[in-house]
Amino acid sequence: MTDPQIVLTERVQQALARAFGAEHADADPLIRPSQFADFQANVAMSLAKRLRRSPREVAEAIKAELSDFPGTVEVSGPGFLNIKLADSWIESQAAGMRDDSRLGVGTITPAQTVVIDYSAPNAAKEMHVGHLRTTIVGDSLARLHEHLGNKVIRQNHLGDWGTPFGMLVEHLLDIGEPAAVAQLEAGMGTEFYQAARAKFDADEGFKQRARVRVTTLQSGDPDTMRLWHVFMDATVRYFNKVYSLLGVTLTDADLAGESMYNPMLQKTCDDLESSGVAVHSEGALCLFPPGFTGSDDKPLPLIIRKSDGGYGYASTDMAAIRYRVHDLKADRILYVVGADQALHFRMVFASAQMAGWLPDTVSAEHVQIGMMLGKDGRRFKTRSGESVKLMDLLQEGVDRASAAIAERGYDEATRTEIALAVGMGAVKYADLSVSHDSEYVFDYDRMLGFTGNTGPYMQYATARIRSIFRKADMDPADATAPITLGDPAERALALHLLGFGTLIEEVTARSEPHRLCNFLFETSSLFSTFYEQCPVLRSDVEPETRASRLALCALTLRALETGLDLLGVPVPERM
């Protein structure tokens, strides 16, 4: 255990137990970073009231029990404990971290099975920017859980079923399969949908055909199913182009769209009805989970079969949650989906609990994704008001990155490679660096900035460290000398790095990748200060100091690269 905050918590708890009795052994010592020392413990203030003693007295008593502490403890003000760790302690912990292939990141035992529902674009429309964020955040969560040893089951819950598919299949027949496939593979799903919709609204004959087609599709008619597959396969090929450009880990094996649940829907409804959980209301089959009321104070229904016998989004989600708990044996299910669906998921989870399909041992969580806004503060759109094609948006990021590094003298191939990493890294990092449930403004200029909490700045920090090792003609893996802390900047960097393991565990437990971004940003900033104040390769630097500083550089590099990899942000060798 290298995280100083955790070590201190344990030490102070032991001191509390010795000073005031075992019943205080689990009290939260309230350890916080401090501007006057490394940390400050505020527990004396809260404990004093209960013990009817002065906070200062309590603080002194704790301090007396910390005599063997590897550092100094001082009581200050009304009763704060200011704690400063000994350099030798930080040095030995940093060495331990360096020698640990996992950089102090633990593994979860027993491993959990974590189902992550993310990306989930709708095939009846173009994959739009909203899906960009759920794809990127979900992918980072998948990477984090796998890193901690959990079994991750990715579920790409595509919108690939429902009434619009009647008209989409008819439109496909009208324009011919080759033309339709070409259009869909090019990412023109929205245009395809709009053309079908226009005909549906204007042409009675087409409308009729579309309606019939929905029925044949739902009955599983082989010819119609083949056409649906032609449509879906072409659409998924386009999604896959986006995934591969983004470098996300989703594959075809993770496809688990709405259509997959179609054969389960009838039984899902029947089971809910026969167990008395679902009831008929105004012709529809509904669930009324407790605690949900509409504006008129009437209980709010989750409709699982409409009055015309059709199934919808809620039916599918009820089948899906049962499948995930029962068949996939999930311990935890993360739904990385837009915040605007919060009510839907609360009702689905409550309904599943009511049905006995979601036991207390399984946690279902909606990881709410905030809306992406344009610079004008409104929902992100093109100037003409259309939704933005994802591929175009990503390509623009790459083009701008390429322009930004134009003057650095790279050959064409290297420049293309760096531009791809920087462009994608910028877009992904920008998505991740804001808490997932807040709205965020999509702004190329800011995300592509080479300073501040941006992807390019983080990538640049790693490239800079790599270039130090190139100059030293050394592999960072060989920088294993003892770490000695002379300068305050070295100490601050090393102390910060020690928090890496706990941070990764917390970020994963709480689904908060933005805190990993903050940690990496802080790492880069502390590294910059260190690098300004502490020459590494200059000829007047003592060999031991040089070796120690190289070891600290290597440790920083590993933390940055591991962190960026867990975010899914690519790391170019040079920039």
- For ligand ARG, the binding residues (CB under 6 A) are 117, 120, 122, 157, 159, 317, 320, 335, 337
Nearer to ligand ARG, 20 or 228 (CB): 228
Phi first, then psi: what are they for 75, rounded to 5°?
-90, 130
Q: In sequence order, what are the beta bridge partners of 302?
A: 287
The closest of 457, 569, 469 to 523, measured between CA atoms, is 457
Nearer to ligand ARG, 117 or 505 (CB): 117
Please state, in angstroms and rounded to a whole number, the distance separating the CA atoms of residues 392 and 380: 14
Contact in structure between 563 and 519 (CB atoms under 8 Å): yes
Query: What residue type is 290 in one-letter code?
Result: P
Nearer to ligand ARG, 82 or 315 (CB): 315
Six-digit token string for 327: 């068949």
Nearer to ligand ARG, 51 or 300 (CB): 300
Please state, in angstroms and rounded to a whole number, the distance separating the CA atoms of residues 294 and 281: 15
Nearer to ligand ARG, 117 or 170 (CB): 117
Nearer to ligand ARG, 158 or 571 (CB): 158
Nearer to ligand ARG, 251 or 533 (CB): 251
Long-range CB contacts (within 8 A, 24+) of 97-103: 97/2, 97/497, 97/498, 97/500, 97/501, 97/555, 98/480, 98/483, 98/551, 98/554, 98/555, 99/480, 102/501, 103/500, 103/501, 103/558, 103/559, 103/562
If one counts every other C-beta atom within 10 angstroms of the C-beta of residue 100, the result is: 12
Could you tell me the smallest distance in angstroms from the CB atom of residue 164 to ligand ARG?
12
Could you tell me the smallest distance in angstroms from the CB atom of residue 369 to ligand ARG?
10
Long-range CB contacts (within 8 A, 24+) of 553-556: 553/465, 553/468, 553/469, 553/476, 553/479, 554/98, 554/465, 554/469, 554/476, 554/477, 554/479, 554/480, 555/94, 555/97, 555/98, 555/483, 555/494, 555/497, 556/465, 556/493, 556/497, 556/523, 556/527
DSSP 3-state helix, strand, coil percentages of the chain (rounded to 5)? 55, 10, 30
DSSP code for 293: B
Q: What Å distances lie between residue 268 and 272, 301, 322, 368, CA to CA? A: 6, 16, 9, 26
Nearer to ligand ARG, 337 or 362 (CB): 337
Could you tell me the smallest distance in angstroms from the CB atom of residue 256 to ligand ARG?
9
Contact in structure between 86 and 122 (CB atoms under 8 Å): no
Six-digit token string for 86: 């000994």
Could you tell me the smallest distance in angstroms from the CB atom of residue 313 to ligand ARG?
7
Could you tell me the smallest distance in angstroms from the CB atom of residue 122 to ligand ARG?
5
Contact in structure between 459 and 569 (CB atoms under 8 Å): yes
DSSP code for 483: P
The strand pair at 31-33 and 39-41 is best described as antiparallel
Nearer to ligand ARG, 122 or 462 (CB): 122
Please state, in angstroms and rounded to a whole number, the distance separating the CA atoms of residues 29 and 42: 7
Nearer to ligand ARG, 167 or 320 (CB): 320
Could you tell me the smallest distance in angstroms from the CB atom of residue 403 to ligand ARG?
33
Could you tell me the smallest distance in angstroms from the CB atom of residue 539 to ligand ARG?
59
Could you tell me the smallest distance in angstroms from the CB atom of residue 320 to ligand ARG?
6
Could you tell me the smallest distance in angstroms from the CB atom of residue 389 to ligand ARG?
16
Phi first, then psi: what are they for 100, rounded to 5°?
-95, 120
Which residues lie closer than 8 Å to 268 by C-beta, 6 or more apart? 261, 304, 315, 318, 319, 322
Nearer to ligand ARG, 38 or 117 (CB): 117
Please state, in angstroms and rounded to a whole number, the distance separating the CA atoms of residues 362 and 36: 43
Nearer to ligand ARG, 37 or 260 (CB): 260
Burial status of residue 353 (CB atoms within 10 A of its CB: 0-12, 13-18, 19 or more): middle
Nearer to ligand ARG, 326 or 470 (CB): 326
Nearer to ligand ARG, 120 or 485 (CB): 120
Contact in structure between 55 and 48 (CB atoms under 8 Å): yes
Could you tell me the smallest distance in angstroms from the CB atom of residue 159 to ligand ARG?
4
What is the sign of the dihedral through the CA atoms of 214, 219, 223 and 225? positive
Could you tell me the smallest distance in angstroms from the CB atom of residue 258 to ligand ARG?
8
Could you tell me the smallest distance in angstroms from the CB atom of residue 366 to ligand ARG?
10
Nearer to ligand ARG, 55 or 159 (CB): 159
CA 559 from centroid of its chain's CA atoms: 18
Could you tell me the smallest distance in angstroms from the CB atom of residue 241 to ligand ARG?
19
Could you tell me the smallest distance in angstroms from the CB atom of residue 104 to ligand ARG?
35
Phi first, then psi: what are they for 32, rounded to 5°?
-135, 150
Could you tell me the smallest distance in angstroms from the CB atom of residue 364 to ligand ARG?
10
